[in-house]
Amino acid sequence: MMILRPIQQNDYSALLKIAHESGHGFTSLPLNEELLQKKIDHSVSSFAKQTSQPGDEGYLFVLEDSETGDVVGTSAIEAAVGLDDAFYHYHLSKVIHSSRTLDVYKAVDILTLCNDYTGATELCTLFLKDGYRKNCNGKLLSKARFMFIKQHQERFAQTVIAEMRGVSDENGSSPFWQWLEEHFFSMDFPTADYLTGIGQKVFIAELMPKYPIYVNLLSKDAQAVIGKVHDNTRPAIELLKSEGFTFNGYVDIFDGGPTVEAKVDNIATIRNANNFNVEIGEMTGDTMVLLANEKLEDFRATVAPMTFDERAKSLILSQEVADALHLQTGDIVSATTI
């Protein structure tokens, strides 16, 4: 059984392995041992913190194979981005060049540096190991975060965003960044990506062009990847689209990957999940259901096949599933089809 839970201090070595495997472009999990330990510390303190509004909390989850005890994936939620460090994006929009005298009218795409998502809740750090990219593991790793947000909405903003990994090759070379590097930075993409991941963002404000960039002045290769995702990221963005996330023209300043957004109340899993009383018994049926308890530090979520009636007041869980979710008869479980 696959269980999603908050990260613990003894998960450090597993998180380090995931950071190694995730490769270039995975900014939120840099290969820096001190920083990874700080991320774990920050997550543990965030889950323990009593708060009624989003702040600098970061909630890091891991996916554990209950049969082996192996940690095989990770995902996270940042409660509110940009409160301490500037949170940059490019916004893709249009300007109109026209002349009635010459009868010329032309719409031109531009990229403008902005901080429009300051204060939004961010979904981040989603990674699943190769051998586990099957069944409902990816959906559990991603969608369980929505269950957590639903149960603790006071901790999160009304706007939820996700930055999707943009196009880069196996060496970490980004066509979008190559153009910026040539004209403004003199720094390769992996280096810039790493510096951002470890929190050294001052260089962005110092070196980024201050005025809007005309897209048609970029190289053809750079233009072609604006708003496009890395091949490995396609399943993730399709899942978010099915949840109601949309692309509104905001792209990453390094690789041009899209940022998608949704209002909390419009996210399908949050809208569709209901609470049920727990009964212990024999589970039957084959509908795949996402299950989560209502706890904070002891949050648990899993996916299990069962008979599911969203109109019922109770759900029958096997003792094994109830134990995995730290639930007993009479407790509340949140559930929705996956």
pLDDT tens digits along 90-105: 999 999 988 888 888 8
C-alpha–C-alpha distance, residues 80 and 96, integer Å: 35
**Given CA atoms 41, 48, 279, 139 in this order, what sign does their dihedral have?**
negative
pLDDT cut 90: percent of the chain above it: 71
Pinpoint the residues of the chain covered by CATH 2.40.40.20: 273-337
Other C-beta atoms lying within 10 Å of the C-beta of residue 260: 22
Catalytic residue among 97, 183, 230, 326: 230
Spatial separation of the C-alpha atoms in residues 338 and 335, rounded to whole Å: 9
Q: Stretch 72-95: mean pLDDT, rounded?
A: 93
Which CATH architecture best describes the domain 273-337?
Beta Barrel (2.40)
Q: What is the mean pLDDT of the chain?
A: 91
Burial of 173 (C-beta count, 10 Å sphere; 0-12/13-18/19+) = middle
Q: Is 273 or 235 the better-scoring residue by pLDDT?
A: 273
What is the reported pLDDT for 103?
85
Q: Which residues are 232's β-sheet partners?
A: none
Q: CA 168 to CA 234: how far, in whole Å? A: 13
Q: Find which of 118-122, 163-167, 307-311 is predicted with most confidence, using mean pLDDT.
A: 118-122
Which pTM was predicted? 0.91
Q: What band does 316 get if pLDDT is binned at 50, 70 and 90?
A: very high
How many other C-beta atoms are found inside a 10 Å radius of the C-beta of residue 324?
A: 22
Give the whole-angstrom CA distance, residue 308 versus residue 335. Answer: 9
Over range 217-245, report the average pLDDT: 94
Quote the pLDDT of residue 197.
64
Q: Is 326 considered catalytic here?
A: no
Q: Spell out the CATH class of 2-90+114-269.
A: alpha beta
Place of tokens 């280096």: 191
Instruction: Note whether 308 and 289 are within 8 A (CB).
Output: yes
C-alpha distances out from residue 28 to 6, 8, 22, 127, 227, Å? 17, 18, 10, 11, 19
Strand ranges in the chain using DSSP code E only, listed in sequence order? 2-6, 58-65, 71-78, 89-99, 104-114, 121-128, 159-163, 213-214, 246-251, 258-263, 274-280, 287-292, 301-306, 314-317, 332-337
| Distance, CA of 271 to CA of 268 (rounded, Å) | 5
* 84 pLDDT higher than 90: no
Domain with CATH 3.40.630.30 in the chain: 2-90+114-269
| Residue 262 exposure: Cα atoms within 13 Å on the Cβ side | 21
Q: Report percent pLDDT > 70 for the chain.
A: 94
What is the average per-residue pLDDT within 285-306? 97
Cα Rg of the chain, angstroms: 22
CA distance 180 to 177: 5
